[in-house]
Every structure is written in structure tokens, then in C-alpha cells.
Amino acid sequence: MGSFKNSVFILVLHLLEGALSDSLIQLNNNGYEGIVIAVDPNVPEDETLIQQIKDMVTEASPYLFEATEKRFYFKNVAILIPQNWNTKPEYVKPKLETYKNADVLVAEPNPTGNDGPYTEHMGRCGEKGDKIYLTPGFLAGKKLLQYGSQGRVFVHEWAHLRWGVFNEYDNDQKFYLSNRRKKPVICPSTITGKNVLRKCQGGSCVTQSCKSDRVTGLYEKGCEFIPNEVQTEKASIMYSQSIPSVVEFCTEKNHNKEAPNQQNKKCNLRSTWEVIQGSEDFKKTTPMTTQPPKPTFSLLQIGQRIVCLVLDKSGSMTVGDRLKRLNQAGKLFLLQTVEQGSWVGMVTFDSAAYVKSELVQINSATERDTLTRSLPTAASGGTSICSGILSAFTVIRKKYPTDGSEIVLLTDGEDSTISSCFNEVKQSGVIIHTVALGPSAARELEELSKMTGGLQTYASDQVQNNGLMDAFGALSSGNGAVSQRSIQLESRGLTLQNSQWLNGTVIVDSTVGKDTLFLITWTTDIPQILLWDPSGKKQDGFLVDTYIKMAYLQIPGIAKIGIWKYSLQARSQTLTLTVTSRASSGTLPPVTVTSKMNKDTGKFPSPMVVYAKIHQGSLPILRAKVTALIESVDGKTVTLELLDNGAGADATKDDGVYSRYFTAYDTNGRYSVKVWALGGVDTATQKGIPQQIGAMYIPGWIENDQVKWNPPRPEINKDDLQGKQVCFSRTSSGGSFVASDVPKAPIPDLFPPCKITDLKAKIQGDSLINLTWTAPGDDYDHGRAHKYIIGISTNILDLRDKFNDSLQVNTTDLIPKEANSEEVFVFKPENITFTNGTDLFIAVQAVDKVNLKSEISNIAQVSLFIPPETPPETPSPSLPCPDININSTIPGIHILKIMWKWLGELQLSVALG
């Protein structure tokens, strides 16, 4: 355990280097340190689960070591144990480890029975994934036949998580045509097995050979490739690590480039080993000459939340009513955001620090009200951020160690001495969340968040954007049950003129409603406030604080489900509305929206990507209306519609992760991110098992030339929650990022169209080719491209590597549509041999108005299959014939019998293909 604690200092240095995810993982002398495996609070207490996690990682480490040619192994792992489990002497307090930055989450399956391991991956090929998901049933070994050993599966998922590679199988398309032959989607192509179909009726099942579809030339629906259990092939782990002989990743030499799997589509036909070789991990390591040690484990148990507010009250906080806005946001945090049972303290600072409240445990509204009265009411003096931080350390240490505690630091001022306390911060184990207020907050502020794994946010002086409320509303605990967290339903603001009204609605859905709070702020005079519940009953009883210009109403019990209506009226001033709630019960998962950027710094002209994950438990929410509001330090805002269409910035269609590129830089400095999500009549949870990037479910094995079928994947009860309509409203803060190298206006057009990632091709009629794809834009996935270039070849590598030399299709009549529209283009191949059995490979490149070109699209394949003609029926003789008995011994009848038998066999062979 000591070695793990000593590694924390190395981890924080790694975080300072600008990691793109929340993970604490660090590669140190070929060994991965700082891996966090968290057990979800809803998993029943079971000590054997901890041992099963240890066994999995211990088995996985030498398998990973050999698979990566002796480069990588698992050095140490922290297992995060829920607070509601019994305490034990060997359980210690976490430092920076939280559920938010866990690399692996062990949670109950949802839907029930779906124990398939998978990895959440939002980015492109080669980019790190977000989290691995495992179930207690999987760790207990209940799915060994279907997935293989837990350690081998963990290495498969680790490759998704760490190196951004994809599956080499495909559940949607299990076979393809190549040179007139039907081939399974496998990697490498030398894996042996049988193509069979299982038919079940009345409780009994039979195994049959697969028949060919006369139209497509492929096998009939339901046909499966069943691998032989005994193989000699050593690859590939990303196809099926469960095959006993498989101990390697596919390399450039044995990679099946034709197979229409996600690895080929997303990684430009590169093998998994080629992608791994391109990673930073690979570049900074060399093979080891000795065997690695076994992994070590630390057992960390989540404790009570300990948080200290560190609030700037320097002279600059008088600008633009910043101090009053601080009081408004601080009150939201203390009244609503921070969870019951938490310990909260408060420090203010200017040139020095002042303790406003020692740690107080929040057990009732009394403690919350007392803390709100400690918020600063006057501002003056300079800015000494380190004084505030060090004073907060003292407040916390009077009662608890600083390990795992949190600081919420808000400042609007510059401070050239902020780095003087960095070493103490690194050693403290404190997580620091930073809130930069206004355009002049210290540039080094974000370093405190990076080095401790805290949230970084920015709020401008544009009050109507409600940025400060959003920042404090996002500071719910990264630990504990989701049912205890504050969920933001609404965040709106508007500058009114001449007695205008701010009207709107908020949906309280069945998954929330507890502790629902309506909070209104104003800048001049108290507005008229009207609020009606879904039954039309007017809600009274708002508590008004005229000093900080805020009114709020806490709805008792569980708020009524439905549409709440509000109307606010005022003269020539700015109003904001914030609505928060909590889960209605501990058993029904609430709809949650979590948003973030792909990195915390953006360097022009590299685009940023904004993500919003919308789930109910582990079920993705589909067809929601999702909008991101991105505000620069100059107060300019850009609105983006986020999409879950599997195109542009979106990695996977219908996985509940909505994405979009951001290219509209207007200045250097900080940008804040907020996401609105609305579920309406078309919005629903995912039916069936969600789209996942994970280990392949093996339907069976060939043993002694016989098919041994595994239990089928669990069927989903259609009466369950899945597929049901979900109406909701949510707001989520996506934190902030810092832009650099943005030129002065006019900003040049340096953004090409984005890569087309969903190109599909099929034969139409006898020899026409039908192409479909999602339109890119002029700037990545915005606007409209100028033209398309379509290249075709009979050689897949020539098309990839020599696209400009490939045969180009005439696209004169193909006018690009607006970004994210569906494109359809039908053409007839010319100047190329396209006969029965020809395999043709196709790619598309988009070009914008200044001749910037996108990357080459994924490569689509079509194989021309001309069904054999059905033999004509034997015509009836035109002349009358004698009545002949087929069993007659008349000479010549025997020859006729043979001919009829032969014709029958011919028809059967044609039908079977």
C-alpha cells in the first residue's frame, strides 16, 4: 500500500502535463499505476467481489505483458469500496480517487442478465476511452463460456480504454463477399470454424448448415460463424480473446483489411497493433528483459464528503455585482447542491485569509441556513489565493485528514504568487474545483484543478448566461449514490426591456422530484414571479432575500410529475431562473446528463469536441434534443445542436452520447460550456441491449467436429423500462477550456470538412451502385461542403494509400447538402471491369470552398453478385404421348428417370448456392 501512496506525487505531475481525461493512470517503467476500479454503491456488499477483482487483474497482467511484446503490465490498482459497505481496518481513505475518475466501474447489469463487459469510448481511433463497465456476475465467472476468462477479457477492454482500438468482429454484419466467396467477419482470416444456423421450435433445437440468400449471395439471416475450440492461430485479442490459442493482437501482416468491422472503419484499415504502436505509451517504452512483478492493490473506502469553500472577497469583486452573484451561487450550493451528511467549512480571502466557518455537518436546514449567513458581504483588498487554500487545509485538518477532501475555489483576480503553494497542494491529497469569474482571473488557476482532478469552470460577467449558478450547481459529489446528487433541470436567463415577460416551462419527470428547488435572481428590483404546477395550481411561498437579490421556493415532498409553467416580469433588468431536484427514489435511476469537452485546452485551428452523455442508469436515451451553449471570455456565445448520429464528431450512433465539433473560436482565453437536453414525444430509452464497444459474445464452440451451443444472449422483456417514452428537461455544466493561438479577426478559414465515417454501399439493380453517407460541413460538421470526390478501386490498399490516383466517379450532378443531412448517390462504374464476382472498394472525400479537403472516408465495399438463373421448367409436349409409368421397364424409361433425378439435384444445388 505504501508504494501506491508514494505514486500519487507522480500522478499529479502527470495530470499537470494536460491529460485529456479524468483518469489518474500513469505509465511508470512499463507498469500502469493509479488504476481505479470502483464498486457501484448499489452493488450489495460481498467481500468475494474484491478478491475476484484482484484475481482478474493478476491474471490479466502477464497476458497483457506477452501480448504487447513484453512492454506493459499492471503495477498497482486501487479498489474503491462504497461508503455503505462495512468498514474494515485494511480500508483506507482515498486521496484523488473518486467514482468520477474511476477507470473501471463494477455495477449491476442493466438490462438484467446483460453481463457483457464493455468500454465507453466517445472519441476517434487512437484516443483514450472513458470507462470500462463490468458486472458482479461477470467477475464471479458466470459467463466464462460466452466471453472467456475474466483476465483475458480485461485486456480486451483495456485496449479499448487505453489505446482507442475497436472490435474486429461485427454483430450487425457477420459475413461479407470476397472473390465470390462468403467470408465471416473475423481477424485474422485464418481462424477456423463452421458457418451454421440454429433453429429452435417447441423447446427443441437443431443445427443446420447455412443456406445462401439468392439475392445477396450471403448466408441467410441467423447464420453464425462458430470457431473451433482448438486453434493454432495466436491472434487476435480484439476479435476473440476467449479462443485459448489467442495471445496476440493482429498486426499489419495478418490483419484482415477487408472485414467490415469497426476497427477497419474507424482506424483506416490499420491493425490494432499498428494503432498501439502509434500511442504515447508505446513511444516511451522499450521491451523489458525480466518478468514483471505481480500487481499490488489498495483498498480505499469512500467516506463522508468534506468540502471547504474558499471565496474571493478582494476589491475587484465589487465589479458588476460579482459579490452578490457569489452569494447567490453560494446559497444554491449550500441550500441544495451539497449532499445531506456532508461536512462543510468556509474561508474567504483578499490579501489574507479569514475563517468564516469551521467544518459543520449538514444534517438539516438549520446548518444550511447558518452557513449561508457566513457568505462574504463586503469586498476590498488584494488577492492571495494561496492564503485561502492553506487556510482551508487548516480548517479541514482540525477534524479530518486532507486526503480525499475538496476545496471549491472561486476568484476573479490575478495573483502572480499562486504557484508558491503548488507543492503543498500536490502533497495534500485535496481535490480542488476552480471557478474563474470574469476575464481577469489568474491564468494559473486551472493548474490547481488539473493537478488534483477537480472540476474547472468559468463564468463570465454576462449575468443572463447564468454561468456562476451553473458552475456551483455542477459541484455535486463525485462519489456516493446518484440518487443523492443534485440534478439541474433548468438554467435560463434574459435581459428584459419595458416590462417584458420571461416565460417558460420545466418538466419534472418520474425519475426526479425530491427536494425540487426553484431559484430566481434579478439585478435591480424584485420581479413579479408566477409559478404553476402541472395541475394548474399557483405556487406561493417564495422566500425573498432583497440584499443579494434572490428568491427561492423548495417544493415539499415529491414534486408533481408533469410540466411546470413560470412567468417572470420586470422592467429593464436581467433575470435568471435555476431549477434543481433529486432522484424520486433510490431504486429508479434518474435521467442524467453529463457533459464535457474532449480536452481542457484548444489550440487553433485544432477543433474541440463537446460531448453530452444522456442515460437512465446504463440505458442510453435516444432522440433527445440536445443543445450546447459555448461562451468565450469576451461574452460571445455559440449554440450547437449535438447529435447521436454516428457521424462527424459522434463516434457511435444511438449510444446516448451526443457530440459536435466546435470551431467557432473568436478569441484567446477561457470558454465555458453548458448543455441543455430535452426529451419529448420521440425520446425513448434504448430498446434491447445498447450499442457497446466490448468483448464478443461467443454463441458456441466446435468440439470434436460438433457444435456446442452456449446459452443465447438474454432476451429483453419488452414490458420493461426499455423503449418507453421519456419526457424530461436537464441542464449540465460542461466545465471550461482555454483557447490559444487564435488570430485576430477576420479569422482565416483553416477548417476542412470532417471525415465521412458512415459510408455504405450496395448494389442496385444489375450493376448500379447506391452510396449513402452523412454529409460533412464546410468546417468539420458545420455548414455545407463545396463538392465531393469519389474514388473507386478493385484494390482496397491502393484506394487507401493512393486515393488521388484512383479512378474517380463523375460527381458533376452531386451537390453537397447541409451538414448532417443524408446523402444518396447512385452511379454506374465506368472504365473498370465490373462483372459477376468483382469486389469494388469505394471512398469519398469532401472539399470546402477554399479547397481544404477532408480525410478519406471509411472504405465501403460492394461485390457484384448475379444470381444464377433458375432452370426453366420442362415444357409440356405438344404432341399427345402415351401414358408412361415411371417404374415401367419399357426401354428408354430408365434414362428418363436419371435425367429427372439430375434436374432435381441441379435445382437443389442452385438453391443452396
- Residue 569: CB atoms within 10 A of its CB come to 15
Q: All 3 cell numbers of residue 485?
A: 446528487
Hey, what amino acid is at 16?
A: L
Q: Is there a contact between 464 and 574 (Cβ–Cβ < 8 Å)?
A: yes
DSSP letter string, 81-144: E-TTSPP-TT-B--SS--STT-SEEE---SSTT----EEE--S-TTS---EEEE-HHHHTTTTH
- Alpha carbons 666 and 50: distance in angstroms, whole number: 50
Q: Measured in Å, how far apart are the chain's first and last C-alpha atoms?
A: 63
Cross-strand bridge partners of residue 442: none
Cross-strand bridge partners of residue 670: 738
- Alpha carbons 767 and 112: distance in angstroms, whole number: 47
Q: All 3 cell numbers of residue 417?
A: 504568487
Q: All 3 cell numbers of residue 913?
A: 448456392
Query: Minimal CA–CA distance to 641: which of 627, 662, 655?
Result: 627
Q: All 3 cell numbers of residue 29?
A: 517503467
- Alpha carbons 729 and 561: distance in angstroms, whole number: 12
Task: Say which residue the cell 475555489 belongs to.
Answer: 409
Cross-strand bridge partners of residue 176: 183
| β-pairing verdict for 181-184 and 562-569 | unpaired
- Alpha carbons 628 and 638: distance in angstroms, whole number: 8
Q: All 3 cell numbers of residue 404?
A: 480525499
- Alpha carbons 684 and 688: distance in angstroms, whole number: 12
Query: Minimal CA–CA distance to 829: which of 767, 894, 897, 908?
Result: 767
Distances (CA, A) of 207 to 122, 197, 246, 683, 702: 39, 6, 26, 40, 12
- DSSP 8-state symbol, 263: H
- Alpha carbons 27 and 271: distance in angstroms, whole number: 23
Q: Compute and round to an integer the Cα radius of gyration of the chain.
A: 31
DSSP letter string, 744-802: SSSPP--PPBPPP---EEEEETTTEEEEEEE---SBBTBSB-SEEEEEEES-HHHHHH-
List CB contacts of 288: < 8 A, sequence separation 6 or more: 30, 65, 70, 71
Q: All 3 cell numbers of residue 667?
A: 478569441
Q: Is there a contact between 661 and 628 (Cβ–Cβ < 8 Å)?
A: no
Task: Say which residue the cell 442524467 belongs to.
Answer: 592
Burial 711-745 (b: 16+ CB within 10 A, else e): eebeebeeeeebbeebbbbbbbbbbbbbbeebeee
| β-pairing verdict for 728-740 and 669-679 | antiparallel
| β-pairing verdict for 406-411 and 487-496 | unpaired
- Give percent helix, percent strand, percent coil of the chain, each to the nearest 5: 20, 35, 45
List CB contacts of 177: < 8 A, sequence separation 6 or more: 183, 217, 218, 839, 863, 865
Question: Known catalytic residue: 157?
Answer: yes
Q: Which of 157, 248, 631, 823 is catalytic?
A: 157
- Alpha carbons 775 and 821: distance in angstroms, whole number: 5
- Which residues are annotated as catalytic? 157
